[in-house]
Amino acid sequence: MDIDTMIMRAIRIPIALCTSILMVLGFASCNKELPKEYTELDLSHCLTPTAPGVTIENNNEAVLDWIASKDADSYNVQIATDAEFTEIIKNLVVPANEVPYRLVLEPGTYYYRIQATSKAREPSFWSASSRKFTIKEPMVTIDLSAGGTANCYVVSKAGSYKFKPTRGCTDTAVQGIQVAQILWETSTESTGATLAANSVIDNVTIDPEGYVLFSTPETLKPGNALIAVKNEGGTILWSWHIWVVGEAVADVDWGGGMVLMDRNLGELSAAGAPRSSMLYQFGRKDPFPGTNGEDANVAVAGMTTTHTNSQQKDLAVIAANPTTLYGAKTDNGANPNYNNDTSYLWGDYTTNSKTESDPCPPGYKVPQAWTAVTTGDDANNIAKTRFAALSALSFQSSDGSGHYKNTFDATLANGSTVRFGRSGAILICTNSASGTTAGGDVKNLGNVSFLWTASCTAGTYRRIATCIRIGEDGVTFWGKSGDSAATYHARSNAFPVRCEKIQ
C-alpha cells in the first residue's frame, strides 16, 4: 500500500478537503495512477487549466489558448461581459484537440475562463484567473468624397479614409498617377518643437480602385496636412489639403442668407488658443502654414514653403508646385502678380459656382463679396457687401500692447457670435507706391487681420482681389469692382479664408 492510500484511509474527512490537504502536502501525485476505489476523487489541482491567453485576428476573431491539462478530455469555456461572470453570454464545450479555440464576437470587452473535464474525473476548478480582451469596432475606410469632391477634406475622428483623386470639385480624374505621398504636416500642438513625421496622418497610398488612402494615428492629433499624387517622373499632378480638427466644424448664420464656418479654413477649433489658419494666395487651392497666434510659426514636418520673385500664369506649373509662393516682393500691384490675367479663380460673383481651384471642403466655397456688379464708392463700402453684418463692429486691444487677444468675439445683428484670431499673413505685394516688403515670410500682423473673398475687380485692375480687413479702427472692405484703383491687396499676398456653406 502506498503512502497516498494510507493517508486517505487514516483520515476520515470529506474528500474535497482531503484533496486540498494533498495538494498542499504534495503527497497526491498527478502523474501517478490511483487505486480503483479512488478514481472518483476530485483532483482538481491536476486538471485545472493554466495560463489562459487570447489574441485577436481579422478584427473580430478571438483565438483562446491555454496550457493543456493532463488527462483532459474536453474543456468548459465561459465568455462573460463582466469579471464576476454574472453576465455570461457563451457556455462552450471545447474538445481537447481543438485548442486553441477560435470564435467570432461582436465588438465589446469580454472575459473568459476555462475548466477541464475527463471521462474518469469530475470537472476541475475554473482557471485561477480570467482573461480580459476587447474586440474593436471594425476598421471601415470612410470615403470623404462620397458627398462630393474637393481640394480639402475634413477629418474629425481617428480612422481610415479615402477620396477620389479628381481635380478639385470636378469629376475630372487626375491622370498618370503612380504614387501618393505626404508633402507636409503641421500642428499647433507642436509649436516650438519639431513635429514628427506622420503625426497627423499616415499610410498614404493608392488602392486598387484608384482612391487615395490614408489613416490617422489611433489617438487623433489635430493638424493640417497636404497629400500629393505624382507621375512616374516624380512631378506633382495634384494635391489635397487634409484638415484634421480637434473640435467639429459648425456653421454660423451671418444673416442675409449667408452661412459661414465658425472658424477660418485650417483652424483646429472655434475657441481657445493657439489658433492657426491656413493662408492662401488669391485663387489658389493649396494652403500655406501660418503662425500660431503667438507670433511664432507652427511646427512643420516635411516640405517647407519657398518663394519665387516672379509671375506665374501656367496653372499646371502652379499645381505642380503647391509649396511655392509666386509674386514679386517689390511691386505696387501693377506687375507681376500671381496669375493676374484671370479674374474669377474662385468663382464668378454673378453665379453660385465653385471653381476647380476653390480651397474649401465639399459643401462649401469661398464667399463672394457682392451679389451683383457694384461700382463707385459703394464697391468699397462693407455695408454694401454681403459682409454688411460686420460693418458696425470695432475690435479693441484687450491688454494695451497693440495686439489682439488670441481670440475675440463679435455679436452680429441677428445674435450669432463670430470669432476671429490673429492668424498672420504672408505679405508679398503692397498697395503702396514704393511697394517694398519682405516677401515669403509669415507675419503676424498683431492688430490687423484679413479674410479673402472670392470677388475681384474687373477690367484693367482685375489683378486686384477683394478682402475684409479687421483692425482696431474697425472693419473695412478693400477693393473696388471698377477700373479705378482704390485700397486693395494684390493676389500674391496670402490671407486666411472662411468658407461659406452652399445653400
What's the pLDDT at 400?
53
Which residue numbers in the chain have pLDDT < 50?
1-43, 331-337, 339, 402-404, 431-438, 482-486
Based on its alpha-carbon atoms, the radius of gyration of the chain, rounded to whole angstroms, reads 34
How far is residue 16's CA from residue 487's CA, in Å, rounded to a whole number? 97
Q: Look up cell 508679398; give the residue.
A: 428
Using DSSP, state whether 83 is helix, strand or coil: coil
224 close to 241: Cβ distance less than 8 angstroms: yes
CA 429 to chain centre: 33
Q: Look up cell 485663387; give the residue.
A: 283
* Contacts of residue 425, Cβ cutoff 8 Å, sequence gap at least 6: 279, 290, 442, 443, 445, 449, 450, 493, 494, 495, 496
This prediction has a pTM of 0.75
341 close to 447: Cβ distance less than 8 angstroms: no
| Domains, the chain, ordered by start | 1-41 (no CATH), 44-138 (2.60.40.10), 141-246 (2.60.40), 266-293+305-350+367-503 (no CATH)
* Contacts of residue 294, Cβ cutoff 8 Å, sequence gap at least 6: 191, 273, 274, 406, 444
Using DSSP, state whether 104 is helix, strand or coil: strand
What's the pLDDT at 24?
39
What's the pLDDT at 189?
62
How far is residue 93's CA from residue 78's CA, in Å, rounded to a whole number? 9
What's the pLDDT at 343?
64
Of 442, 482, 478, nearest in space to 459 by CA: 482
330 close to 436: Cβ distance less than 8 angstroms: yes
What's the pLDDT at 463?
57
The string of DSSP letters for 116-176 reads EE-SSS---PPPSS-EEEEEPPP--EEETTTT---SEEEE-SSSEEEE--BSTTSS-BPPS
Of 444, 445, 443, 447, nearest in space to 399 by CA: 447
**Vertex 414, ends 409 and 416: CA angle to 5°?**
35
For 378, other C-beta atoms within 10 Å of its C-beta total 13
